[in-house]
A and B are shown apart, each in its own frame.
Chain A
């Protein structure tokens, strides 16, 4: 067992070896921009009073979420959290449905039954989170158990934060996964702040990845602002799990660049920390990398930027046309009927 610090990705050749061609890299770049765009535009809609409840963003985590999701295969499943919008976008959740979700409309993945990032499209292999973190880790482990029972070459990916690492669900999930070497990868989005609580008040070990060793599997610390390093490490861990090598914990280091939710100005985070991590913005970092290593041209950049803007405009327009849910349906569909089992998974 080893706790490893992942190196950054140096060249186009190196990332090609990890399975991505130039087209893939441009897709990743576009997906990261779209991810940030969805949250920025969502924030504006929130300020306009068009989004009820609260509003959460994953600013600073776009590289980590897109990197992991890109490393997953279509048949793999995951339980992304509220900083992982990039996972939904990478897996193909249409942006207009995300805006409909934000606005509590009938066409959001939860049809207005739940809000903000509490959503997932099961058809795309995603399982919707609950607020009680890290309650989704045992669920991800259960998915991995199903793969193992059926002898399928599939992997489950479970996300949690450094705050949630303090709760028992994380321990039970990782322990069971380790004991049975289940095909699951644990991604810790360590953004250094659990609401206002800093890491030194959440855990006493040097890195959370250290804990992997105690559960009998590998732990890796990766710079979460480096999308390619995250991708490479996630790919390695996922394929290892697929091959019967058991779980891995990847601790992805970022800084939560905004408050816990938009009502929170994060006064408790030192200014210098924000300034330091702003220099490591994952999108800007990847853009520079693409210019240096993959000849990203001005025209390409403009094209991607314009395409993202177009998608966002159309998405918001379409979402605003989605009806609000009918109040008379409030107590309907509490229980599933046998015909509701007719999903791809249950067939």
Chain B
């Protein structure tokens, strides 16, 4: 099994699907000659040609709307937003057109929008956001947030196969930092099935994306204190694995919900509410949320560090829960 970075795993999955299925094509800004801002599609245009690796004008609305039209005509578009933040420019096409078309008229819209998201490198307010919860509120969109190279590939292939619009949030901070064995052959990772990143008995962390690793480091610190932490990586938010969360809550009776997105109305609120509604009897402590504060993502390193949940914040939260 080759060892691939998270970024290489995305490229690998995409390339495999394009080789296997002529309907799959890539569209975005600078995805062709340049290979994409992060080089996910480097070398793709040489292999698949300029019409299947399509350099679009700076037009997010036309990219996503174009994907919808092409999908209705039977293709399987994979759009790249240069940064997840820019999806705001295509909000209408996603939310008004793509998300609702199947419910309204029975026309499936099988499109994937790749969204390089997340902060941690002084990208500032417009190159660092995690807008997944805004879209989780929109009926008709699926939301995928892989944390590992293996999932990055398997979830991307599932996303391309899926007959619905899928937002694929790829965390920029993981691109080259995370490396692991990834199967060479084609495989899919099912939506709505959480992954146990780490088994434990005393406290559960429910999280996704880059925060999986933040939680992992915090859990290691807690090990020294004799606290055993279980980490659930949700993998996908729509649909999300309620059963795994409720089962783990029952096992540990203490839950910390962690995300890099801001706190109010973040997807963690939905998870906490569900645990309160359906798992209340099993809890020995209030569900705790750790998230970014309700502010834009700041640029300057000390501010950004104060914004994105850090290992020490998570460790402190876990200790508080363990002692409760």
The interface of chain A, by Cβ under 8 A from chain B, is 77, 109-111, 113-114, 118-120, 122, 127-128, 130-132, 135-150, 156, 168-169, 172-173, 175-176, 179, 333-338, 340-341, 343, 345-347
Contacts and interface: CB of A to CB of B under 8 A. Distances in A.
A138 B69 contact: yes
Nearest to B68: A139
A138 B66 contact: yes
A19 to B, nearest CB: 25
B30 to A, nearest CB: 15
Interface string B57-70: 10101101111111
Contacts of B107: 122, 127-128, 343
Contact of A337 (B54, B62, B105, B163): B163
B96 A175 contact: no
Interface string B151-165: 000000000010110
Contacts of A176: 56-57, 59, 62, 66
B224 interface: no
Given A127-B69, A145-B66, A139 B106 contact: no
A334 B164 CA distance: 10
Contacts of A122: 72, 105-107
A261 to B, nearest CB: 19
A95 B114 CA distance: 41
B93 interface: yes
B97 A130 contact: yes
A169 B90 CA distance: 9
B108 A341 contact: yes
Contact of A335 (B72, B73, B93, B140): B140
Contacts of A114: 104-105
A142 B65 contact: yes
Interface in B51-108: 51-52, 54, 56-57, 59, 61-62, 64-75, 77, 92-93, 96-97, 100-108
B110 interface: yes
A56 to B, nearest CB: 17
14 contacts: A113-B105, A127-B107, A132-B96, A138-B93, A141-B62, A142-B65, A149-B25, A172-B59, A172-B62, A173-B65, A333-B102, A333-B103, A338-B163, A340-B102
Nearest to A177: B62
Contact of A146 (B62, B70, B161): B70
A329 to B, nearest CB: 11
A341 B97 CA distance: 17
B15 to A, nearest CB: 18
B142 interface: yes
A284 B324 CA distance: 82
- Shortest beta-carbon contacts, A-B, top 4: A142-B69, A138-B65, A142-B66, A336-B108
Interface of B: 25, 51-52, 54, 56-57, 59, 61-62, 64-75, 77, 92-93, 96-97, 100-110, 139-140, 142, 161, 163-164
Contacts of A142: 65-73, 77
B96 A135 contact: yes
A175 B59 contact: yes
A118 B104 contact: yes
Contacts of A120: 105
A335 B107 CA distance: 10
A141 B66 contact: yes
Nearest to A340: B108
B70 A341 contact: no
A176 B52 CA distance: 15
Contacts of B161: 338
Contacts of B105: 109-110, 113-114, 119-120, 122, 128
A139 B66 CA distance: 5
A346 B77 CA distance: 13
Contacts of B140: 334-335
Contact of A137 (B65, B77, B103, B164): B65
Given A114-B105, A168-B61, A141 B69 contact: yes
Given A130-B96, A346-B108, A149 B61 contact: no
A148 B106 CA distance: 25
B104 A143 contact: no
A120 B107 CA distance: 10
Nearest to B73: A146
A139 B77 CA distance: 13
A118 B164 CA distance: 20
Contacts of B93: 135, 138-139, 169
A12 B157 CA distance: 57
Contacts of B97: 130, 132, 135-136, 139
Contacts of B59: 172, 175-176
B62 A175 contact: yes
Contacts of B68: 138-139, 142
B96 A341 contact: no
Given A143-B72, A169-B61, A336-B102, 6 more contacts: A122-B72, A122-B105, A142-B72, A147-B73, A334-B102, A345-B72
A136 B93 CA distance: 9
B69 A148 contact: no
Given A140-B69, A347-B74, A135 B142 contact: no
Contact of B73 (A138, A168, A172, A345): A345
A22 B140 CA distance: 47
Most chain A CB atoms below 10 A, which of B56, B70, B92? B70
Contacts of A111: 106
Most chain A CB atoms below 10 A, which of B59, B69, B104, B139? B69
